[in-house]
Structure 1
Amino acid sequence: MLTDSDLSSSTRPTDLAVHQAPPQHLTAPYIALRTGEGPATKELRLELRSAPNTWGLAFADETPDDRDSHDVLWRRYHHNRYHCGRPTGTPLAGQVHPDRLRETMSRLTCPVCNHPASQTSDGYLFLEPPREDPVEERLTTWPPVCTEHVIAYACERPDLRDGYTAIRSADPTLYGVRGQLMRFTGTSFMTVAPEAELPYGNALMRWVVADQLLRELKRITVVVEYADPVTR
């Protein structure tokens, strides 16, 4: 089984000095979905977008927070938080809050403690399902992790039940989004693809309600080729 110390040996001292140790009482990952949280149902409508004579999706009561810097529409979700901003409520096993997942993906922070993910000269530390050869420029919806929470993170991810490969990516480039691709039938909206993956700049983006952020992992280095399945 892979331990935190196995990965710490490849982390530069300067990186460890910057990383803030998470509180010992942490019992659930930052990205975990909690009771009372879930998607907020919102009415969709057609709207003339920024490109001349180009139509696309919009919320009937849309606010600037509903779109990212690429003008992509994101699904709304309810939040349960303490006044300090920390999530509260009973975590739901194996489920993640899309907004907090997007936050950690965007900022490259650990999904367990929300502190900076491990970074060395080889790049950020990612855990991936075991495979013979990690694919260069593969897409992922999962953020990197800090060395302290490798095991906790692996326990929480359903796709790592059969083991995992630890890799570093020196260039985890923002690629695009995964979301519900829709089209207008003339009277209503219908789903074309429930989990479409589109790069930023794609013309179909105006018909997507995004749920997950995608990064393209480039300049990959394998840290551990295979780790045994993690058990509680």
Structure 2
Amino acid sequence: MSTVSRLLVPYITAREGEEPESHLALRATFDRAGRSALGYWDESAEDRDPRGVLWGRCSQLIGRDGLPSGRPRWRMIHPARQRETMTQLHCQICARPTRTPQGYPFLAPAAKDVPRPGDILRTAQPPVCLAHLRLAVEQCPHLQKGYTALMVRSAPLYGVIGTPYQWTTQGIKALAGTDTPIPYRTAELRWFLASQLVRCLQDFTVVDLDGLTTLNSRA
């Protein structure tokens, strides 16, 4: 677990010195169906997720302990580490498993209305293990404004957040991106560079954080 100025640095937080791949590494290519698509000149299987979506490359600074090192770039998420923890449903802070007999703990910023059974929530924030729930709430500026703790039993993959591209007569051009998730099986994902993986939280219970952290202390 890394700390800077006594603050917990989440595993998924980008660090100074970790840099994205140059735009020049991208090219126009064709997918398996023969349709035009975005790709890398030296593309490998690791560059795409199991649904075939291309992911943004970014270097990683990993210490001897196997964890990211360097000063944190707060508010910036490392795409590979976010994808890793969201895929495996591991803790966004320590990268360890989060599964409990009741489900997976997620923290969501407070909304106008408290989520109700039957609601479907979409999130790019990986779960948080029981050991780090309280620290996350105490130190995350967004959660300090209010939060909802959820125990999630079903969280299927939904899609990705990233940057759309297009081919022009001058070459490949990046378009303005948004934080709106693009669902899988959408045609525009052929020309998309993903940076965050999104899941649907669709079977959950709103829980009391104090009760969950007390449960962890007894484990």
Alignment TM-score, normalising by the size of structure 2: 0.82
Residue 51 of structure 1 pairs with residue 30 of structure 2: no
**1:40 positional shift:** 2.0
**Equivalent runs, 1:10-159 vs 2, <5 Å:** 27-43=8-24, 44-52=26-34, 54-121=35-102, 123-131=103-111, 132-134=113-115, 136-159=119-142
Q: Which moved more, 1:102-111 or 1:22-31?
A: 22-31
**TM-aligned CA distance change 1:26 to 1:106, over 3 Å:** farther
Q: Please list every run of 5 or more consecutive structure 2 residues that lacks an aligned counterpart in the other structure.
A: 210-219
Give the root-mean-square deviation of aligned CA atoms: 2.6
Aligned residues with identical type, % of pairs = 37
**Distance in 1 between residues matched to 2:167 and 2:181, nearest whole Å:** 19
**Distance in 2 between residues matched to 1:150 and 1:156, nearest whole Å:** 10
Alignment TM-score, normalising by the size of structure 1: 0.78
Q: Please list every run of 5 or more consecutive structure 1 residues that lacks an aligned counterpart in the other structure.
A: 1-21, 226-232
Instruction: Judge conservation of contact 2:91–2:126 (CA < 8 Å) in 1.
Output: yes
Instruction: Judge conservation of contact 1:182–1:192 (CA < 8 Å) in 2.
Output: yes
Instruction: Judge conservation of contact 2:160–2:195 (CA < 8 Å) in 1.
Output: yes
Instruction: Judge conservation of contact 2:164–2:193 (CA < 8 Å) in 1.
Output: yes
> Which residue of the partner structure matches residue 17 of structure 1?
none
Amino acid at match of 2:160: V
**Distance in 2 between residues matched to 1:191 and 1:210, nearest whole Å:** 12
**Equivalent runs, 1:184-199 vs 2, <5 Å:** 184-195=167-178, 196-199=180-183
**TM-aligned CA distance change 1:97 to 1:178, over 3 Å:** same
Instruction: Judge conservation of contact 2:12–2:93 (CA < 8 Å) in 1.
Output: yes
Number of residue-to-residue matches in the alignment? 203
**Distance in 1 between residues matched to 2:40 and 2:18, nearest whole Å:** 20
> Which residue of the partner structure matches residue 18 of structure 1?
none
